[in-house]
Amino acid sequence: MPLTAAFGIMVVAVYLFVAVFAPLLAPFAEREVVGAQFQPWGGAHLLGTDRLGRDMLSRLIYGARNTVGIAFATTALAFVVGAFLGIWAALRGGWLDQVLSRFVDALMAIPSLIFALLLLTIFGTSVLTLILVIAAVDATRVYRISRSVAQGIVVMDYIEAARLRGEGSWYLIRREILPNALAPLVAEFGLRFCFVFLTISSLSFLGLGIKPPMADWGSMVRDNATLITFGDITPLLPAGAIALLTVAVNFVVDWQLHRASGLKE
């Protein structure tokens, strides 16, 4: 394992630990007003307070649970839908493949962030709606890569042998195609998680993501951006947390892709 991958795994593990044990690690509650607005660092508030007087350190810790948890759930849903449809289309071919592929092409022609903004404006910005909308947008990307990978597998001799034995589509997907397509799909899961994570943070910064008073790193940057004018780096803390997790996940994904390629150097 290279040092970059070890660093990435360590950072991801720390984020997961903070997300799971947020109530135990945070000195104050997520929504509790504990002081005056924009208090400086130090004392009972190591990272100061925000514009409403809530503890910034506590909000950062709870933001890990909300932002990372929602991004992971969204990515998982996008992969379940997109990967299944992509592999199924490649396996069946014919009119089913053409209809699904043209529908996906039409959706991908629309810029993803603009499409998500439009859907969230129409259907509202609850957490469930946010997960469903972003998962629907990202499932199109997962469909394309899973279909491309599966098309190289369905022409193999062992797939034809399984068909001659009378195996059905579900068996072929579960026992033959998916195990052989797992390495690129796992790597794509990591990359897609980064894109979803950044999309949710961007939407929250624009006011259409995770709604207050839930702690979210994107909205924390927006709410405290005025401090930059006075030379205070507090708004950069949630932005740095977003950037660090993105870099760490990419380090792990690069290592997994290198392992899957079979290259030694």
pLDDT digits (tens, 9 = 90+) for 9-59: 999 999 989 988 888 888 888 888 887 888 888 777 888 888 888 888 888
Per cent of the chain over pLDDT 90 is 4
**For residue 17, what pLDDT is reported?**
92
Confidence bin at 263 (pLDDT 50/70/90): low
* Segment 204-248, tens digit of pLDDT: 888 777 877 788 888 888 888 888 877 778 888 888 888 898 889
Measured torsion, CA atoms of residues 128, 129, 133, 134, in degrees rounded to the nearest 10: -50
Tokens of 125: 């910005």
93 three-class SS: coil
What span, in angstroms and rounded, lies between the C-alpha atoms of 191 and 196?
9
**For residue 109, what pLDDT is reported?**
85
Confidence bin at 264 (pLDDT 50/70/90): low
The chain-wide mean pLDDT, for the chain, equals 84
Output 125 or 239, whichever has higher pLDDT. Answer: 239
Q: Give, rounded to a whole angstrom, the gap between the first and last alpha carbons of the chain.
A: 12
Angle between helices 94-108 and 127-153 (to 10 degrees): 130
Domains of the chain: residue spans and CATH: 44-261 (1.10.3720.10)
**For residue 182, what pLDDT is reported?**
81
What span, in angstroms and rounded, lies between the C-alpha atoms of 86 and 142?
8
